Amino acid sequence: MADNNTLLDKLDGLVSRFEEVSTLITDPSVIADQRRYVKLTKEYKELGDIVKARAEYVKCLDGLSEARELMAETDPEMREMAREEAAQCSTRIAQLEEEIKLMLVPADPQDDRNAVLEIRGGTGGDEAAIFAGDLFRMYSKYCESKGWKLSVSSYTEGAAGGYKEIICSVTGEKVYGTLKYESGVHRVQRVPATETQGRVHTSAASVAVLPEAEPFDVEINEGEIKWDTFRSGGAGGQNVNKVESGVRLRYNWRNPNTGVVEEILIECTETRDQPKNKERALARLRTFIYDKEHQKYIDDIASKRKTMVSTGDRSAKIRTYNYPQGRITDHRINYTIYNLAAFMDGNIHDCIDHLIVAENAERLRESEL
């Protein structure tokens, strides 16, 4: 009971904060400050989940107490019902305690954001580009199954198919918090279509998942952006050939971590509407700068974690796709399955679920230290 009271004491403080935030988000001065308002509405939702869990926890504690009292009754049928109720309450209380402890561990503040997904062919020449194309199809199918919207911003096709590079934006619920586990080097072992001797080759593609920045997350002097327009390549008929809908921006940015001025170059051919392409190029610029400025935060987390489940060196090899054996291995958590065809068709839910469980276990260990 002492442990129950300790947990309830922590939750009571959060209930008070929830009530305070619920008042603040209706204040006109807070609503006028978009940055503060967005932050508070996110806190309101997170606290609301905790308050809801607390209510169920208290209900189960009361139910257990009542059941124990009824177990002293003389009626055998009543005692049996009380024992069943006590067992159910005890089981649910243990589950809720684990859920609440995890809720109380600070989450990655970027998990709720949309994401920018970048896939690039690495070592392996044409085969690496083909594999990058396979990964893009895999993520497209996965996003479709999640009800997320995936929009291609720009791409460079490989000579034999696939992509040397493809960049997309993904919008939906908790996109970054789910896809962040995919950042890293993906290695493939298979016989390339161009291989005449039937030998297995090893190629690789890199995946980067970046949290999409909001307009107020970074400061950009739009007057210093240099814009160019060009005709989009690829299929699309006369509009693609005759209308300069593609946009290219150049922006000189001083990296606050190094003090070095870097020229950022971004192209966008996502739509046939030049203003929309400009808007999306600006969104990618914000995301690029936001990611760079938060690299220290990412490195700090990585230095504390031994499994490197979702953060750290993006050049680290995270997964191997072995076609001859039909095997996928995620090296971060020693996860191996033999359903490669389904996996490449977007059925990657189970692997991501295992990665989430591993990270949550690590976060709980950190909080208890």
Q: What is the pTM of this model?
A: 0.73
Per-residue model confidence (pLDDT) at position 312 = 46
- Non-local (6+) Cβ contacts of 216 within 8 A are 34, 35
What does the domain layout of the chain look like in residue ranges? 2-104, 115-212+296-368, 222-293
Q: Is the pLDDT of residue 314 over 80?
A: no
Q: Which residue has the higher pLDDT, 148 or 275?
A: 148
Q: Is the pLDDT of residue 16 over 80?
A: yes
CA angle 324, 167, 218 (to 5 degrees): 135
* pLDDT-wise least confident of 101-105, 119-123, 310-314: 310-314
For 254-274, what is the mean pLDDT? Answer: 83
pLDDT band at 131 (very low <50, low <70, confident <90, very high): very high
Q: Is the pLDDT of residue 297 over 70?
A: no
Between CA 135 and CA 127 the distance in angstroms is: 12
- Non-local (6+) Cβ contacts of 170 within 8 A are 114, 115, 116, 117, 143, 148, 149, 150, 151, 179
Q: Is the pLDDT of residue 239 over 60?
A: no
Q: Is the pLDDT of residue 310 over 80?
A: no
Per-residue three-class SS string for the chain: CHHHHHHHHHHHHHHHHHHHHHHHCCCHHHHHCHHHHHHHHHHHHHHHHHHHHHHHHHHHHHHHHHHHHHCCCCCHHHHHHHHHHHHHHHHHHHHHHHHHHHHHCCCCCCCCCCEEEEEEECCCCHHHHHHHHHHHHHHHHHHHHHCCEEEEEEEEECCCCCEEEEEEEEECCCHHHHHHHHCEEEEEEECCCCCCCCCCEEEEEEEEEEECCCCCCCCCCHHHCEEEEECCCCCCCHHHHHCCCEEEEEEEEECCCCCCEEEEEEEECCCCCHHHHHHHHHHHHHHHHHHHHCHHHHHHHHHHCCCCCCCCCCCCEEEEEECCCCEEEECCCCEEECCHHHHHCCCCHHHHHHHHHHHHHHHHHHHHC
The rounded mean pLDDT for the chain is 85
Between CA 352 and CA 369 the distance in angstroms is: 26
Q: Is the pLDDT of residue 307 over 80?
A: no
Q: Is the pLDDT of residue 243 over 70?
A: no
pLDDT band at 109 (very low <50, low <70, confident <90, very high): confident
Class of domain 222-293: alpha beta
Q: Is the pLDDT of residue 303 over 70?
A: no
pLDDT band at 233 (very low <50, low <70, confident <90, very high): low
Per-residue model confidence (pLDDT) at position 64 = 92
Integer angstrom CA distances of residue 240 from 52, 154, 233, 270, 274: 53, 14, 7, 11, 12
Per-residue model confidence (pLDDT) at position 185 = 93
Burial class from Cβ neighbours inside 10 Å (0-12, 13-18, 19+) for residue 264 reads: middle
Q: Is the pLDDT of residue 206 over 80?
A: yes
Per-residue model confidence (pLDDT) at position 77 = 87
Between CA 170 and CA 167 the distance in angstroms is: 10
Class of domain 115-212+296-368: alpha beta
CATH number, domain 2-104 = 1.20.58
Per-residue model confidence (pLDDT) at position 267 = 87
Between CA 219 and CA 278 the distance in angstroms is: 17
**If you search the block for the tokens 């958590």, which residue do you land on?**
333
pLDDT band at 299 (very low <50, low <70, confident <90, very high): low
Query: 223 with 246: CB under 8 angstroms?
Result: no
Q: Is the pLDDT of residue 197 over 90?
A: no
Per-residue model confidence (pLDDT) at position 2 = 46
Query: 130 with 158: CB under 8 angstroms?
Result: yes
Taking phi over 0 as left and psi of -120 to 50 as alpha, with beta for the rest, 42 belongs to alpha
pLDDT band at 254 (very low <50, low <70, confident <90, very high): confident
Strand order in the sheet with 184-190: 149-157, 163-171, 115-121, 201-211, 184-190, 317-322, 327-330, 335-337
Q: Is the pLDDT of residue 235 over 80?
A: no
- Digit-coded pLDDT (tens) for 39-64: 888 889 889 999 999 999 999 999 99
Between CA 262 and CA 255 the distance in angstroms is: 7
Q: Is the pLDDT of residue 241 over 50?
A: no
pLDDT band at 204 (very low <50, low <70, confident <90, very high): very high
Can you say how many angstroms the Cα of residue 204 is from the centroid of all Cα atoms in its chain? 22
Per-residue model confidence (pLDDT) at position 178 = 94
Query: 135 with 201: CB under 8 angstroms?
Result: no
Q: Parallel, antiparallel, or unpaired for β 327-330 and 335-337? A: antiparallel
Query: 18 with 47: CB under 8 angstroms?
Result: yes
